[in-house]
Structure 1
Amino acid sequence: MTAIVFLATLILSVPVAIVLVIAAVWYIWESGNTVLYDSIALKMFGGLENYGLLAIPLFMLTGELMNEGGMTKRLINAARVFVGGFRGGLAYINLLANMFMAAIIGSATAQIAVMSRAMVPAMEEEGYDKGFAAATTAAGGLLAPVIPPSMMFVIYGVLAQIPIGEMFMAGIIPGLLLASSFALVITAIGWVHQFPKGSWLTRREAASALRDALPALLIPFSIIGGILFGIATPTESAAIASLIAFLVGWLFYGELKPSHLGEMFKRTAANASMIIFMIAAASVFGWVIIYEEVPQKLAGLITAVTSDPFLFLLIVNAALLVVGMVIDGIAAIILITPILLPIAMGSYDISPYQFGVVICLNLALGLLTPPVGIGLYIASAMSNTTPGAILKALWPFLLAVALILVLLSYFPVLSLLLI
């Protein structure tokens, strides 16, 4: 009966956090173990007693400060220096700028919104199809859940009880592979459609663009470098990145006004609280998973089908592609990790880092696939393009993601080499 209540509330579009609490409360009532009612609040607060969770609002604040401080356009100009002269140069600029942004924002939806406003009009003005321009921008947003710092990696690391810094390191090679596959897609489409030829900046223009972007590039270097060299934890790196973003936007670029900080703090708090509440609700829902022995039962079912770790990951990928179509990626991570991770580690000896990279990238695909597809609809709204036109141009990028998922599932070293 609890499963029916859970599915019914999901179908009725009840927020996922509320669904988790309702299902847990129903289960307590149905099981007769009503003494657990007294512990619900304690359990929810207990689920938040993790230092790593502080990184979520701090990375969100970094993105807000960066957007307000004028760093986006400077990063785009910096990308123009490296790839602007190729045929289809603006498409490559879009991709490279998305890589820079992924190493700062950590949120795919925020990145898609920012980059759609910046890149789609520019690409359309140079003669690119608007659907392709929006699709390239939306696909670039998929780099955010993989290239550190990733919001999904933070949440997964907390749920899996593994070091978030090492989880970030696991995402670097997969992120570069994903970006490379997108570049190949752009190249192939450019050959077919004869994209406009770009123009290289003069030496003086290139030096100026790089000089202007250098302060903004301090942010990803401070995050990744601080973690890689053991100088700071991910949470401390997020705090440092927020401070750098504020000082650069205010003192160097002069576009960030201290009087706007209050509004940015409010937006950050509102957005972060939704994620934090989902994690708290998942702690309560964990009772259902524990008492019903869901991982053990599911493990028995799957191991009866295959004992091969690669086939197990393919089955998981296929299932999560469907899950990602109907449930938001962060919500799905919170739901799926406690169930599938014990099976992956206990029955198939799969590294939690490899498993985390695979499921985070897989569930990020749900941002661009109907019926939920929030990233798809954000790109559509920001670029004034129909979702259908974007999807028509998006499918080669989605195929590239699927290929990378297969590679990451078959070769653990791609996720584990830097750890």
Structure 2
Amino acid sequence: MPLPLFFLCLALMLVGGFPIYLSLVGASLLYIALHPELSLLLAVQRMVGAPDSFALLAVPFFILAGQIMNTGGVTHRIFKFARCLVGNFRGGLGYVNVLASVIFAGMSGSALADAGGLGLVEIKAMRDEGYDDDFAIGVTAASSTIGPIIPPSIRFVIFGAVANVSVAGLFIGGFIPGLIMAAALAVMVFVVARRRNYAVRRRASAGDLWASFKESFLALLMPAILLGGIWLGVFTPTEAALVCILYAVVVTGLCYRELSVGQLPGMMVETIRMVVPAMMIVAGASLFGWIMNYEKVDQALVKLLLGITTNKYVLLLIVNLILLVLGMFLEVISVIMLVLPILQPLVTILGIHPIHLGVVVVLNLMIGLLTPPVGFVLYVLSGTTNRSFGFVVRAVVPWIIPLLVVLVLITLIPDLVMFLPRLTGFA
């Protein structure tokens, strides 16, 4: 089976509406069946072995922790504290939106959890205070992408497991870029709020600020426990995910008393429903990577790109363009699993640090969550706001610009990513 025929088969299955994991497995098994020199048994072993990773165990744990916090009253406490802190500026709820996402990022590590959980609280508050829907939706969508960049991050866990890179190093490396994203979005809020002359809200009193801080303190403590524990070597990122679940249950169930034991089974079932397709993609993509390696596609691509330029920063910009296009049509995990085996030889030759590459790739693919036709955050916000998909797209597009600026910055200035990992000994 010629390689072009393999890609044609894969494309037809995707266009035909088959899930990505079935398309990968189907096209790969057909290719292997038509090549007698390849062992079908070995292919099955690769599929079964691919998700068998200690690092990947963190994925369901972080998803479950995010659900517990969304249900257990953490989100509205975070929003209330952020509102008291920065809500008095012109367009204040825009700044609140960004700050709340930064705080929530240190707990869930998921853009969809941010958009679908915290986003509901944010958009309702902004509507109640008379903010335009396009502003509320745009800043909510853009700020949700901070979640997978500031640790902990489900996407970094998957990247680290696939690329055999320190997940803790990726977590630490995402911290500064996440804060830069928040600053860039705050500048965008400032510009839009001034242009539309949004009202200035009364400054919260010191008493209100202190009360909101005390109420949200236990929630705010979680990122410090997670990052501090990983930084000091007390636990691995996977163990940190378990600590996150335990802490979330204690805080939301015993302290806030907003989580009941009866809610946990439903959350676990929902976690399984979300994790199984992701692990199937990991299994299917392992076959795809095996075939790419067998056909020496990675070597051919390296020769092609090095024939264009040998400047690693120019090549990274080219890779960014490719990923931006792929992110418009494929889910994040799929792109990581499909592209990473091909990129790794290029990274090795050019001396690009894998932690730098990981943060660049994940930020790039987070922008993909905001781009049609397969931008998952767009669909989440369209459903929760009762606005048409087209309206949401138009509202979000301007907010992609500051994120692209940050992407270019961290691509061309590796120290923005690598400073903390080097400082903490993870790089």
Length-normalised TM-score, structure 2: 0.95
Letter in 2 for 1:299: V
Letter in 1 for 2:35: S
Residue in structure 2 matched with residue 403 of structure 1 by the alignment: 405
How far does residue 65 in structure 1 lie from its aligned partner after superposition? 0.9
Distance 1:180 1:69 in 2: 29
Contact 1:226 1:232 in 2 (8 A): yes
Residue in structure 2 matched with residue 276 of structure 1 by the alignment: 279
Letter in 1 for 2:148: P
1:243 aligns with 2:241: no
How far does residue 40 in structure 1 lie from its aligned partner after superposition? 3.0
Contact 1:17 1:278 in 2 (8 A): yes
1:84 aligns with 2:73: no
Q: Find the partner of 2:316 among 308, 313, 316.
A: 313
Equivalent runs, 1:144-223 vs 2, <5 Å: 144-223=147-226
Residue in structure 1 matched with residue 394 of structure 2 by the alignment: 392
Letter in 1 for 2:20: V
Distance 2:67 2:365 in 1: 24
How far does residue 394 in structure 1 lie from its aligned partner after superposition? 2.3
Equivalent runs, 1:221-370 vs 2, <5 Å: 221-346=224-349, 348-370=350-372
SS in 2 for 1:33: coil
Task: For residues 75-119 of structure 1, give each alpha carbon's deviation from its aligned partner in whole angstroms, at most 9, with x where no partner exists.
Answer: 101111220111111111111111111111111112111123111
Residue in structure 1 matched with residue 9 of structure 2 by the alignment: 5
Distance 2:85 2:66 in 1: 24
Paired residue total = 417
**Structure 1: stretches of 5+ with no match in the other structure:** none
1:113 aligns with 2:152: no
Task: For residues 223-272 of structure 1, give each alpha carbon's deviation from its aligned partner in whole angstroms, at most 9, with x where no partner exists.
Answer: 11111222211011111011010001111000100121111111111111
1:58 aligns with 2:61: yes
**Worse-matched range after superposition: 104-113 or 40-49:** 40-49
Residue in structure 2 matched with residue 379 of structure 1 by the alignment: 381
SS in 2 for 1:417: helix
How far does residue 280 in structure 1 lie from its aligned partner after superposition? 1.7
Residue in structure 2 matched with residue 133 of structure 1 by the alignment: 136
Distance 1:132 1:203 in 2: 29
**Structure 2: stretches of 5+ with no match in the other structure:** 422-427
Letter in 2 for 1:57: P
Distance 1:343 1:132 in 2: 40
Distance 2:265 2:248 in 1: 16
Distance 2:46 2:397 in 1: 43
How far does residue 384 in structure 1 lie from its aligned partner after superposition? 1.5
Distance 1:331 1:142 in 2: 18
Distance 2:270 2:403 in 1: 31
Distance 2:282 2:226 in 1: 24
Letter in 1 for 2:173: A
Letter in 2 for 1:250: G
Contact 1:134 1:385 in 2 (8 A): no
How far does residue 351 in structure 1 lie from its aligned partner after superposition? 0.8
Distance 2:37 2:365 in 1: 34
How far does residue 177 in structure 1 lie from its aligned partner after superposition? 0.6
Contact 2:67 2:113 in 1 (8 A): no
**Worse-matched range after superposition: 147-156 or 384-393:** 384-393
Contact 1:367 1:375 in 2 (8 A): yes
Contact 1:116 1:383 in 2 (8 A): no
1:143 aligns with 2:152: no
Distance 2:385 2:375 in 1: 16
How far does residue 13 in structure 1 lie from its aligned partner after superposition? 2.7
Contact 1:341 1:355 in 2 (8 A): no
SS in 1 for 2:308: coil
Task: For residues 179-232 of structure 1, give each alpha carbon's deviation from its aligned partner in whole angstroms, at most 9, with x where no partner exists.
Answer: 110000001111111112122222221111100101111221121111122221
Give the aligned CA root-mean-square deviation in angstroms. 1.3
1:26 aligns with 2:30: yes
